[in-house]
C-alpha cells in the first residue's frame, strides 16, 4: 500500500468544529464519489481533539501547534496510482477535490507526502 498523508490546518476564519464538520459532511462524500476514478483504496479522516492535555504534550516536547486533522489516502500500489491517472475523468475529479479543499484547508500551511507504513506494534 502507498499512502498519501495530508496534515491539515484550517482556514483562519473557521473554528476547529466548523472545519471538521465541513470536512466530514461535505468533503468526505466528494472523496467517496471520486474514489474509484482516482484509484483510492481507503480514505481516513483523523480529527484532532480539542483537549487541554494536547497543550501539556506539546509543551513537554517544545512542539509546534497541532494540526486540525490528518487525511490518509491509500492506494494499492504505485502502479494503481499511476493507472488511475489515466482514467477518464481523473483530472476533473482531482480538480473538484482541490476546489473544495480551498474552501476549508489552509493549503500553504498543510504539508502532504507519499509514504508507506511500517507497523511496529499492533
* 44 beta partners: 72
CA distance 100 to 96: 6
Please state whether the predicted TM-score (pTM) of the whole model is above 0.85.
yes
Across residues 70-77, what is the average pLDDT? Answer: 97
Q: What is the DSSP letter of 21?
A: H
Q: What is the mean pLDDT of the chain?
A: 95
In order of their start, the domains of the chain are 2-48+68-115 (3.30.70.100)
Percent of the chain with pLDDT over 70: 100
User: What is the per-residue pLDDT for 56?
Assistant: 84
- How do residues 27-69 score in pLDDT, each as one tens digit? 999 999 999 999 999 999 999 998 888 778 888 988 888 899 9
* Distance (Å, whole) CA 37 – CA 30: 12
Q: Please state the rounded mean pLDDT for residues 110-122.
A: 96
Amino acid at each position: 500500500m502507498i499512502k498519501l498523508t495530508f496534515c491539515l490546518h484550517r482556514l483562519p476564519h473557521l473554528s476547529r468544529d466548523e472545519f471538521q464538520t465541513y470536512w466530514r459532511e461535505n468533503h468526505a462524500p466528494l472523496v467517496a464519489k471520486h474514489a474509484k476514478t482516482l484509484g483510492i483504496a481507503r480514505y481516513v479522516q483523523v480529527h484532532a481533539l480539542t483537549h487541554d492535555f494536547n497543550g501539556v504534550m506539546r509543551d513537554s516536547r517544545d512542539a509546534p501547534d497541532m494540526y486540525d486533522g490528518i487525511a490518509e489516502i491509500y492506494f494499492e500500489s504505485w502502479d494503481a496510482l499511476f493507472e488511475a491517472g489515466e482514467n477518464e475523468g481523473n483530472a476533473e475529479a482531482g480538480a473538484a477535490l482541490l476546489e473544495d479543499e480551498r474552501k476549508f484547508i489552509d493549503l500553504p500551511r498543510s504539508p502532504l507526502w507519499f509514504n508507506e507504513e511500517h507497523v511496529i506494534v499492533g
